[in-house]
Chains A and B, each alone.
Chain A
Amino acid sequence: MLGAVETTLIYTFLLGSLYLLVSLGFSLICGVLRIFHLGYAYIFTATIYLTWMFMTIFGTPPYSTTVLIIAIICMLAVQAGLAVAIYKGLIVRYLRHEEIIILGLLFLAIIVEQAALRFYPIQTGVYLETTVIHGVSTIGQVTVSNQLIFAAILGIVIAGLFVLFFLKTKLGLAVRAISYDVYSSRLMGIRVDRVFMFIFVLTLIPVIAATLAIAPIWAVDPYMGWGYMSTAILVSVLGGLGNIKGTMIASYIIGFVHSVVGFVFNQPVYMGLAALVVVLVMLIVRPQGIAKSETVW
């Protein structure tokens, strides 16, 4: 019994923190821009495959840490440029035609996925050695990868920084104002378009950090983004779209459900199903999610 409680607590912390990292960006885009970012999955795939592409350009196997770092910097630059291009080319232009934005974003995700699959098929064996802490740790009866612990702590740190940014900075205040009312924010002199674009780029950070942190310990393939996006959707819906407080609570609830089903009952195939049932039940009780508000904080 004690072992089960221990397992649940540890994996709730680990998975919950990771889900927080994965969902933060999606929730913010939904909450601030009010856009259903169906192309969110592309960020995961692009992170892995762009990094790999730059590694193959700048170095030869076995790739050194320097090559990896240069490749990551190049990937970040491309991702930021792509995000700006998406924002300016698609979102700004078709803001009044949501269906075009949503389908356009979805197409983008599929284009990235198919391009990755075409140029780097699964048998290529894409692997990023982004391990920060090697080895495993044993906590009580549970043995977990140190890298997973690092990813979980990273999740908390980044979420904390996001909260501080939104609560303590002027720009954060502008974002909160926009999440309350776009039109009034515009009247108050906030340059809404610039803030939107900033948020669109900012949301890349947690996703890229999560992808790089888990790349050496979990499987990567061109389709990986959809699974994470599904988790992000579940967390965001449960927490209340766009609300960081709600997203935090929801991440740990989903983490708890997954850890109980997957590690205590040893039924990992039921993890997704169980989480969805929890979300559905919660939505019936509280249709607007835990936070009950579509504002950032």
Chain B
Amino acid sequence: MIYVGILIVVPLLVYLISFIWPPAINLLTRVIEANLLAAIAIPLALMTISTGRMNFGPQFYIGIGGYAAALLSIHFHVPPGLTMVAAALGGVIFGFIMSPMAIISGGLYYSLLTLLFPLLFLEATYIFTDLFKGDTGLSGVAPLVSTGNFSLNLLSYAFISLTIMLVYLFAMDKIFRSRYAIQMAAVNDDEEVANSIGVNVNKVKMIGFTIAATLVAVVGWFYAHYYQAFSGQIFLPLSFMLKIFMVTMLGGRTQIYGCVIGGYFIAFLEMILIRLTGDMSPVLFPIILLILLLVLPEGLFGLYRKRKYREYMPTLRFRR
């Protein structure tokens, strides 16, 4: 609980410091970004463990949620509360439709196909540019919060994003401590053995996939209302996927608490690099992440794990 307290106090502290030093308020944008990255990585951990495969296109569902919210808000003036329902519904539908992919395709085929879907979606936004405004992005989405004060708005967004992340975190914690998690772990370790001991492998995969897709789509909804715009160019390319992956990997290979550490680490490292190195930061950022990936194969959570050993560490497989 002390860590949750820190996460709540940090935005408040930044808000208060901004009264003395106004530029400090920009730190809240990093806090929001960190919360959202963690909120994407946490469901991705569920998807990875329950399917026993690595999805290379989680940003596809950000696109689904974001575009559903943006289109409904711009064209039909649907309030944010309802656009969230629509985004989640979009996540459920597409997640459910896509989930058999985790059953049909195995190994590299699954990785390759999931990698292609966001790129295809991005291409579709250019093809149907009248609808998605592929070149410029959709703008004019209703804001989630409108207090009339920029700093207060940012603080509100920081707390909403934190709430989303914490809800995901504790929900996943509950799931991972349940009997259902044992089934997921069995699927992750060996599908055939899991099947032989009575685990309905296909059901576990489909449920895990669909839940994760829905949760990621809700993050897409938040992005659309937070920026009051949504563009596939930002969220659908590989570079964004890489950021999510680094949150997962640097945090601690699908460890949900590690995702929070990873999210904050990546978001703030990016900011510091931009400040310190300017236009060299796009080159240096991946170099530093690559070094960290090689130096910390179990991520930052692995350092904690060395002190307090945890029995189960899911395996990330690609060749199966």
> A287 CA to B106 CA in the complex, in Å?
9
- Interface segment, A12-20, A94-102, A197-205? A94-102
Interface class of chain B by DSSP:
helix
6 contacts between A and B (CB under 8 A): A34-B319, A99-B253, A103-B245, A104-B293, A118-B283, A287-B106
**Which of B54, B246, B282 has a CB less than 8 Å from the CB of A118?**
B282
In the complex, chain A residues 215-273 whose Cβ is within 8 Å of any chain B Cβ? 226, 230, 233-234, 236-237, 241, 269-270, 272-273
* A110 and B113 form a contact (CB under 8 A): no
> A269 CA to B132 CA in the complex, in Å?
15
* B104 and A284 form a contact (CB under 8 A): yes
> A269 CA to B125 CA in the complex, in Å?
11
Given contacts A97-B297, A110-B239, A276-B120, list 5 more A-B pairs with CB under 8 A.
A104-B290, A107-B286, A230-B116, A272-B123, A283-B104
Given the interface pairs A118-B279, A118-B282, A226-B238, the reply to whether A237 lies near B294 with Cβ below 8 Å is: no
Interface string of A110-133 (1 = CB under 8 A from B): 110011011000000000000000
Give the size category of B's interface with A: 35 or more
Residues of A within 8 A of B108 (CB): 30, 34, 36, 241
Question: How many residues of chain A are within 8 Å of chain B by beta carbon?
Answer: 40
Instruction: Report the nearest B residue to A276, measured CB to CB.
Output: B120
Residues of A within 8 A of B249 (CB): 99-100, 103
**Which of B105, B286, B317 has a CB less than 8 Å from the CB of A114?**
B286
* B120 and A272 form a contact (CB under 8 A): yes
A-B pairs with CB below 8 Å: how many? 101
Select the residue from B54, B280, B293, B316 with max chain A CB neighbours within 10 A: B293
* A102 and B105 form a contact (CB under 8 A): no
Residues of B within 8 A of A280 (CB): 113
* A237 and B113 form a contact (CB under 8 A): yes
Instruction: Report the nearest A residue to B242, measured CB to CB.
Output: A106
Q: With an 8 A cutoff between CB atoms, is B72 at the interface?
A: no
A residues whose Cβ falls under 8 Å from a Cβ of B: 30, 34, 36, 38, 90, 94, 97-100, 102-104, 106-108, 110-111, 114-115, 117-118, 226, 230, 233-234, 236-237, 241, 269-270, 272-273, 276, 280, 283-284, 287-289
* Closest Cβ–Cβ distance, residue B191 to chain A (whole Å): 15
Select the residue from B108, B109, B127 with max chain A CB neighbours within 10 A: B108
* A273 and B127 form a contact (CB under 8 A): yes
* B109 and A98 form a contact (CB under 8 A): no
> A272 CA to B117 CA in the complex, in Å?
11
**Which of B104, B112, B242 has a CB less than 8 Å from the CB of A36?**
B112
**Which of A98, A100, A117, A118 has a CB less than 8 Å from the CB of B317?**
A98
* B242 and A269 form a contact (CB under 8 A): no
> A241 CA to B280 CA in the complex, in Å?
37
Residues of A within 8 A of B319 (CB): 34, 98
Q: With an 8 A cutoff between CB atoms, is B194 at the interface?
A: no
Residues of B within 8 A of A237 (CB): 109, 112-113
* Closest Cβ–Cβ distance, residue A67 to chain B (whole Å): 27
